[in-house]
Amino acid sequence: MTRGRALVGAGLALAVATPALGQAYQCTPPARIAPLPPVRPDGPVRRAPIAGYTLAVSWSPEFCRGDRDPASLQCSGRAGRFGFVLHGLWPEAANGPPPQWCALLPRPQPETIRSGLCATPVPGLIEHEWAKHGSCMAQSPEAYWGISRQLWARFRWPDADALSRRTSLTVGDLREAILLANPAANPVIPRAAIGVVVGRNGWLRELRICHNRAYRPEPCDRRRFGLPDGAPLKIWRGL
């Protein structure tokens, strides 16, 4: 049995995402994806037993603030306006650095890339995440992204546009908003499973939703948890 089938059979409830700047609910993927160059590894091959997973979720407006590519699917507005987007699913080791770059082949099929663009609106990133992370936990890009998108579909995301307008916003406010957006989550999301990553001057960059080997949310370690609840937070809404 593949990991993807095991996940489906585990009775995990999948939620439909809320549209309030959570994902691009109005997203229209392009009819055709241009061929992509092969991925080039940015580090060594590293194999290690998997002890858990990190669902990495990016805040798109912050990324797009520095992106000036008019052809960008994520930032040009051609495919919709994106809020929280799926960066990838990363296997974690029990001790030491995580596994990575276990294989570069097979490459994702064009339809695998196209079908995922409303969650991960960067074609090259879909192949990169498979090669760097997914190849260490699944036998194919399709299996890897099947698992990743099922985990992604569990979560509802808060209206970060509204959050950004609060005075004295804190990291804890964001964690609380995520919990309030997922009151009936199954399995339950512990507050400590929500890691928050900020960039320069405290602007929200990414979330890290920590999971155990059974794909159930669990408390993050210190590295992935990021800032404490009381830390100030800013959220870029875009132009």
Please say whether the beta carbons of 18 and 160 come within 8 A: no
Residues acting as catalytic residues: 87, 129, 133
Q: Which amino acid makes up residue 227? A: L
pLDDT of residue 138: 98
Q: Is the peptide bond before 106 cis (omega within 30 degrees of 0)?
A: yes
pLDDT of residue 7: 41
Residue spans of beta strands (DSSP E) within the chain: 50-59, 84-93, 194-198, 204-212
pLDDT of residue 169: 98
pTM: 0.89
Mean pLDDT by 10 residues, the chain (239 residues): 35 33 67 91 97 97 82 84 94 96 96 93 96 98 97 93 95 97 92 96 97 97 96 91
H or E element in which residue 132 lies: helix 123-132
pLDDT of residue 10: 29
* SS3 category, 63: helix
